[in-house]
Chains A and B, each alone.
Chain A
């Protein structure tokens, strides 16, 4: 079945420019024709919204919040993405000096083990609504995995562009699905610029270029799930990694939408952004306090968030400041410690971006940004098996023994001596 054949079942919402307010019909276009500002889906303010009970009775996927997603009708593809676990981690609460800590664990997102499954689920249905027969993306790896997996299942050809220096897991985790995978000599920012030109040239649905208005809304479902999984209430603080800067802004939008729908009460959480010091243009923008993002050339092992020219950087900084939050960056050595600490305390193996998130949370705690009564959610956006290179040389090597009980007994005796 082609996307075009099923297009009538799902319709994309019309769009409005975030910068100048001009409205237009639904289209695979992310840029305002008047001012080139970003277009956002325009929801019918009078639409009927569900109650907590109605939402809770729906299937455990991100589509249980479909009234806040940019499509009318029935989505066709990726119906089982979302609703990942929210895992409480008491030992991290102790370390951060706060009341409670949870990890929102998108490291186990279906189908491709990162939060990018959410945005692609929204975008691939928008592609169907427009009858686009090919999808694609510019990616630092996780988005490549998500587009390749979801396009394969949907039966759509995919063109995927990545920097040529990505981790093996990110490359294999894309090519296994059989897309047209292209490795570009350069940084993500080079790839991104190329994809903007590719989207201009071909009539494809590049999920984070011309379908970006619809794609971005999928990120809000992280906020919706956190609220529902906490028992229909909000945490006081959320820490999220920043690459293009969209997630942190959309978290704020999601929390505000649930507040205005009356599904939760109280204050919107303070938003905290995390980056690697080797690529931290949004953290530096928050620290400077002006509105002018200064692009950087990335130099970090946190490749999944190594975007030196983040499209939503200024919006992310604004969302963070307005929420009363802040931002922090950490070294590559500290992000590796963060990966290990999350594994040892939460039993969750995250990729480099997750290590950045936890290490930045520790830095924010050290510099006095959290309060003893805080309830903090850490957004763990990707899976550690994709970036095992980051841990090279930093884990104890497992001993190799002969298959003899005596040798095991010696080892256990030494280990127990060591631990006492």
Chain B
């Protein structure tokens, strides 16, 4: 599965300026694992030491918060977009 990860500007200094990254895997967690392996500096801003989503970002798969769909176990489909947004906003 090829998935597009969209990153907030604040994280692009960890990806040589790239705003989007292609990732692959069967679940959101697989895709994050794949991207984390290729961008080691970005890895700790995607997942914590236990392998759970990093607490200061929220993951949206095609605009839906993955915490409502199974978290990192959420199944992805070819062409899906995974949007990463800083968690501290609004209110």
Selected from B63, B68, B86, the residue in CB contact (under 8 A) with A297 is: B68
Q: Does B91 reach chain A (CB closer than 8 Å)? A: yes
Give, as a whole number of angstroms, the nearest-CB distance from A342 to chain B: 24
Q: Does B13 reach chain A (CB closer than 8 Å)? A: yes
Give, as a whole number of angstroms, the nearest-CB distance from B30 to chain A: 23
Q: Do A245 and B91 touch across chains, with their CB atoms under 8 A apart?
A: yes
Helix, strand, loop or mixed for chain B's interface?
mixed
Asked whether A309 and B65 contact (CB < 8 A) given A208-B89, A246-B91, the answer is yes
Give every chain A residue within 8 A of B45 (Cβ-Cβ). 35-36
Among B11, B45, B54, B91, find the residue whose CB has the most chain A CB atoms closer than 10 A. Answer: B91
Q: Does A312 reach chain B (CB closer than 8 Å)? A: yes
Complexed CA–CA distance, A403 and B86 (Å): 63
Give, as a whole number of angstroms, the nearest-CB distance from A250 to chain B: 11
Among A29, A200, A245, find the residue whose CB has the most chain B CB atoms closer than 10 A. Answer: A200
Selected from B9, B83, B89, the residue in CB contact (under 8 A) with A212 is: B89
Q: Do B56 and A36 touch across chains, with their CB atoms under 8 A apart?
A: yes
Q: Do B56 and A33 touch across chains, with their CB atoms under 8 A apart?
A: no
Complexed CA–CA distance, A35 and B58 (Å): 14
Q: Do A30 and B89 touch across chains, with their CB atoms under 8 A apart?
A: yes
Give every chain B residue within 8 A of A37 (Cβ-Cβ). 56, 88
Q: How large is the interface on A (under 10, 10 to 19, 20 to 34, 35 or more residues)?
A: 35 or more
Among B13, B58, B87, find the residue whose CB has the most chain A CB atoms closer than 10 A. Answer: B87
Q: Does A31 reach chain B (CB closer than 8 Å)? A: yes
Q: Do A295 and B85 touch across chains, with their CB atoms under 8 A apart?
A: no
Give, as a whole number of angstroms, the nearest-CB distance from A164 to chain B: 15
Q: Do A31 and B90 touch across chains, with their CB atoms under 8 A apart?
A: no
Query: Which residues of chain A from 169 to 222 have a CB within 8 Å of any chain B CB?
Result: 188-190, 192-193, 195-197, 199-200, 208-209, 212
Complexed CA–CA distance, A29 and B54 (Å): 20
Q: Do A30 and B88 touch across chains, with their CB atoms under 8 A apart?
A: yes
Q: Do A310 and B86 touch across chains, with their CB atoms under 8 A apart?
A: no
Q: Do A193 and B10 touch across chains, with their CB atoms under 8 A apart?
A: no
Complexed CA–CA distance, A309 and B57 (Å): 12
Selected from A19, A243, A297, A311, the residue in CB contact (under 8 A) with B89 is: A311
Complexed CA–CA distance, A35 and B14 (Å): 12
Give, as a whole number of angstroms, the nearest-CB distance from A162 to chain B: 12
Asked whether A209 and B91 contact (CB < 8 A) given A36-B56, A189-B65, A190-B63, the answer is no
Give every chain A residue within 8 A of B88 (Cβ-Cβ). 30-31, 36-38, 212, 311-312
Q: Do B8 and A196 touch across chains, with their CB atoms under 8 A apart?
A: yes
Complexed CA–CA distance, A243 and B10 (Å): 26
Helix, strand, loop or mixed for chain A's interface?
loop
Q: Do B9 and A200 touch across chains, with their CB atoms under 8 A apart?
A: yes
Asked whether A208 and B91 contact (CB < 8 A) given A31-B10, A190-B63, A196-B8, the answer is yes
Among A19, A36, A188, A297, find the residue whose CB has the most chain B CB atoms closer than 10 A. Answer: A36
Complexed CA–CA distance, A307 and B56 (Å): 17
Q: Does B77 reach chain A (CB closer than 8 Å)? A: no
In the complex, per-residue mask of A230-273: 1 if CB is within 8 Å of any chain B CB, else 0: 00000000000001111000000000000000000000000000
Selected from A199, A200, A307, the residue in CB contact (under 8 A) with B91 is: A307
Give every chain A residue within 8 A of B91 (Cβ-Cβ). 192, 208, 243-246, 307, 310-312
Give, as a whole number of angstroms, the nearest-CB distance from B66 to chain A: 10
Complexed CA–CA distance, A295 and B88 (Å): 14
Q: Do B89 and A209 touch across chains, with their CB atoms under 8 A apart?
A: yes
| Chain B residue, CB-CB nearest to A246 | B91
| Chain A residue, CB-CB nearest to B85 | A196
Give, as a whole number of angstroms, the nearest-CB distance from B85 to chain A: 5
Binding site for A on B (CB under 8 A): 8-11, 13, 45, 54, 56-58, 60, 63, 65, 67-68, 83, 85-91
Known A-B contacts: A37-B56, A197-B85, A311-B87. Give 7 more (CB < 8 A).
A31-B10, A38-B88, A193-B58, A197-B83, A200-B9, A295-B67, A307-B90
Binding site for B on A (CB under 8 A): 19, 29-31, 33, 35-38, 138, 188-190, 192-193, 195-197, 199-200, 208-209, 212, 243-246, 294-295, 297, 307, 309-312
